[in-house]
Amino acid sequence: MLRIAYCSPVNPAPSGISDYSEELLPYLAQYAALTLFVEDGLRPTNPHLAKHFPIKPIRQLERMARRGQFDAIIYHMGNSPAHAGIWRMAQRVPGVIVLHDFVLHHFMLWYAANVQRDVQRYVAMMRARYGADGDHMAQLMIRSRFSEAAFAFPCNEDVLAAAKAVIGHSHYLLRRVTATRPDLLCGYVPMGVPLPPLIDRIAARQRLGLPLDQPLLASFGHINAWKRIEPTLRAVAGLRREGIDVHCLLVGSVSPNYDLKGVIQRLGLQEAVTVTGYVARAQFEDYVAATDVCLNLRYPTAGETSASLLRLLGAGKPTLVSAVDAFCELPPDVAAQVDVDESETDLIIAYCRRLLTDPALAAALGARARAYVATEHTLAGAAQAMIEFLAKVYGWAPPQRIRPDPLWDPTPVVEAETTPSPPSPQPAAPASLLLQTAAQAMAEIGLTEDDTGALQSVATKIAELQGKHP
């Protein structure tokens, strides 16, 4: 029987990869005996994990690996500080790295400041890797002066050097890895997600206290400028000028220093936009079901593959995406792709107008989206592709299943609320201006809406560094 050390954040670690791993593990366990390694001190909250797997603190991996207790080691690397222990161990014991983000810039800054306790190591790395331009960017970064230009400095070279091989969830990411390290063995594994349950649109609107017949657009996840919120709201204003009585839902937390209220007021959309703040899982699923057109826009990106996008598509929703990076790999009949140039707002208007006024087309696009996820992004397919790539890396015979079924079904059971819960805006918690700025900046450089605790930790440390390095 194959024995695999699986190193990943799991809940309650603040990383979207926690959900990803908890969904993949019961399928991967059809092929091998898995030992789950987690950050020292973390106690997983998913009861299935302790029931089915040995769970070890990651500090024990080196000793167990050197005793030959594993046939393969998998490390999951992303931008969240929840990967600190994984990165520390990956430098000591080689393994296959699942690279969730090509750009690891902000993780490396956080790691230098919080783990190595020496931010100048980050500065020195930037200077050595990228010359004068890197040094200049590093000086801006440690002073909380972030910009889109930071994405040009991926800071992933040390991770690639430590990897025995790399798994990516998009061909875009793997092309960039190969351009950096043409000698490194790479493999594509589709990101698998559970196919969401279909929820009745009218029933969802009734539970949420939303109008039953008004056209609804929605953007899901952490709200900041990189989510293309202003172009979206300009499109809402344009649609309303055309006589389409559209309402926009912004479902998620708001970056504390992003002037969303000002944008809404400037466009005169106070009555046309609802900001929900963070919502629980049942309400989130209801908002998706209630929406006519979903928007999953993002620019710039860190080269990630969006699980939240796959969940929207899997729910059968017509969805708009930004025509950049890994998003360009979606088939044209699965999602509407929006360029991020001067035509952006006009394209959003044109797509939304067509989808809102042609229900048959919207339904067909949603059906193709769900069928795409159901065939191309299954958890079973992801597990099989991962184990086959590991066999290639480690020289195994073709792996065979050791159990016919997954250990458990990770498809969420959504319990609908029995009483309407009308959404209401939620103000950001009080914080100092520096903390707000740092938290927003780190979110905007790539941390996701799942990484709230990590953002606050980063912001606090940068505030300290600001005082040390004026």
Q: Is 167 helix (H, G, I), strand (E, B) or coil?
A: strand
pLDDT(336) > 60: yes
Residue found under tokens 């589709």: 190
CA-based end-to-end distance of the chain: 57
CA proximity to 6, closest of 79, 47, 63, 56: 56
Rounded to 10 degrees, the C-alpha dihedral 365/370/373/375 comes to: -100
Residue 30 has pLDDT above 80, yes or no: yes
Q: How far does CA 120 lie from the centroid of its chain?
A: 29
In this predicted structure, which of 123-127, 277-281, 298-302, 435-439 has the lowest mean pLDDT? 435-439
The beta strands (E) that lie in 90-227 are given as 95-99, 163-168, 186-188, 216-220
Identify the sign of the CA torsion 82, 407, 283, 289. positive
463 residue type, one letter: A
Q: What percent of the chain has pLDDT over 90?
A: 80
- pLDDT at position 148, please? 80
Decide if pLDDT at 278 tops 90: no
Compute CA 213 distance to the chain's CA centroid, rounded to the nearest angstrom. Answer: 32
Q: Is 470 exposed, middle or buried (0-12, 13-18, 19+ CB in 10 A)?
A: exposed
- Does 215 have pLDDT greater than 60? yes
Place of tokens 């299935």: 48
What's the confidence (pLDDT) of residue 414? 56
pLDDT recorded at residue 413: 65
Q: Give the pLDDT score at 460.
A: 45
Residue 419 burial (CB count, 10 A): 6
Cis (ω within 30 of 0) for the bond into 12? yes
Residues 6+ apart with CB under 8 A from 129: 153, 155, 157
pLDDT for position 427: 36
Task: Give tens-digit pLDDT for 103-141.
Answer: 999 899 999 999 999 999 999 999 999 999 999 999 999
- 50-82 tens-digit pLDDT: 999 999 999 999 999 999 999 999 999 998 899
Q: What is the mean pLDDT of residues 398-414?
A: 90
**pLDDT tens-digit readout, 231-245:** 999 999 999 999 999
Separation CA 110–CA 122 (nearest Å): 9
Q: For each of the domains in the chain, give its residue range(s) and CATH number, in order of start.
A: 3-104+156-192+378-394 (3.40.50.2000), 201-375 (3.40.50.2000), 433-468 (no CATH)
Report the C-alpha dihedral over residues 230, 232, 237, 243, rounded to 10 degrees. Answer: 180
Which of 29-38, 226-235, 448-457 has the weakest average pLDDT? 448-457
pLDDT value, residue 450: 42
Q: Please provide the DSSP assignment of 349-412 as one string.
A: HHHHHHHHH-HHHHHHHHHHHHHHHHHHS-HHHHHHHHHHHHHHHHTPPPP--SSSS-SS----
Q: Which pTM value belongs to this model?
A: 0.86
Structure-block tokens of residue 39: 């950050």
Q: Of 115, 392, 384, 28, which is closest to residue 36 (Cα–Cα)?
A: 28
3 state SS of 163: strand
Q: What is the pLDDT of residue 221?
A: 85
- DSSP conformational letter for 345: H
Nearest to 72 by CA among 99, 98, 46: 98
Query: Is the pLDDT assigned to residue 456 strictly greater than 80?
Result: no
For residues 352 and 293, give the distance between their C-alpha atoms in angstroms, rounded to a whole number.
7
Helices (H), 33-104: 47-52, 61-66, 84-90
Measured CA to CA, the distance from residue 386 to residue 174 in angstroms comes to: 15
- Check residue 80 and give its pLDDT: 86
Question: What are the CA-CA distances from residue 290 to residues 61, 188, 262, 312, 409 (Å)?
Answer: 46, 34, 27, 12, 25
Residues 94, 291: Cα–Cα separation, whole Å = 45
Greatest distance between any 2 Cα atoms in the chain:
70
